[in-house]
Amino acid sequence: MNDRSELNAIIRETQKILKSYPVFGTHELPVLPTRTKEKPMKSVTAASKEQILAPVREKALVCQDCRLCKTRNSVVFGEGSLDAELVFVGEGPGRDEDKQGRPFVGAAGNLLNKMITAMQMTREEVYICNVVKCRPPQNRPPEPDEVAACGGYLESQLLTIRPKIVCALGKTAASALLQTEAPMSALRGKTFDWKGLTMVVTYHPAYLLRNPSAKKEVWIDMLRVLEMLGRPVPAV
């Protein structure tokens, strides 16, 4: 399958998902015409992915599908490269994220940035989002109905970007995506298939702030991610 055919397949797959959420208003997503060899693919791919996600983001920004809309200051949709090979999925926005409208900008975000840098990558080349797009009060874990209300947004993000690796940060993200109540000890170190995408699980940076000794385990997980991506593995 060539790049253009693969992109059209992505669009069609995303159409099917979004049709389950007709309020998104994305029933007329275009299928791209046949591409001539001389046209650059990367810019077309990013633009087409943005075209798919733009109405999803607009819907999220005014979403009132669960109780979290009543206490939020900002909707934190996600940010990063739409051509990312690696997507990090966290639990939900915290206080700083709710204020700024950006994911992972507080203390846990600073630690995630350090992890990304240690992997010899940049925040700009990955994509970062959360299971729920609004902050749960007092940073409590999101309730099942709140996770379900945001499910279409997260699926659209992941299936549009189609990274090589989805990294679930923490049990809430892992449980939401894998539909499992298995403990972290049973999830780490394994590879999962999520709707055709490769997924791994590691601890959330907020957990590491409370349990610094677990940083070594997360670094082992990130080295494994680098190997799976075919990227250089930094010397330990």
CATH code assigned at 67: 3.40.470.10
Q: Residue 91 forms beta bridges with which residues?
A: none
Helix (H, G, I), strand (E, B) or coil at 200: strand
Indicate whether 35 pLDDT > 50: no
Domain for residue 50, yes or no? yes
Residues 208, 202 contacting (CB under 8 angstroms): no
Q: Which domain holds residue 72?
A: 3-229
Confidence of residue 170 (pLDDT cuts 50, 70, 90): very high
| Structure confidence at residue 8 (pLDDT) | 59
The number of residues making up the chain comes to: 236
236 lies in a domain?
Answer: no
Least reliable range by pLDDT among 12-21, 35-44, 112-121: 35-44
Which one-letter DSSP state was computed for residue 45?
Answer: H
Residue 16 confidence (pLDDT) above 60: no
> What is the model's pLDDT at position 6?
55
Residue 118 lies in a domain: yes
Percent of the chain with pLDDT strictly greater than 70: 81
Q: Is residue 235 part of a domain?
A: no
Q: How many CB atoms lie within 10 A of CB 80?
A: 21
pLDDT at 165 over 80: yes
Sheet architecture: strand order including 127-130: 79-80, 127-130, 86-90, 165-169, 197-202, 192-194
More confident site: 62 or 17: 62
- pLDDT tens readout for residues 45-91: 788 999 999 999 999 999 999 999 999 999 999 999 999 999 999 99
**Average pLDDT of the chain to the nearest whole number:** 87
Q: Does 88 fall in a domain?
A: yes
The reported pLDDT for the residue numbered 45 is 77
Question: Do 208 and 215 form a contact (C-beta atoms < 8 A)?
Answer: yes
Report in angstroms the alpha-carbon separations of 230 from 114, 151, 191, 202: 20, 30, 16, 19
Q: Indicate whether 234 belongs to any domain.
A: no
Count structural domains, the chain: 1
DSSP bridge partners of 80: 127
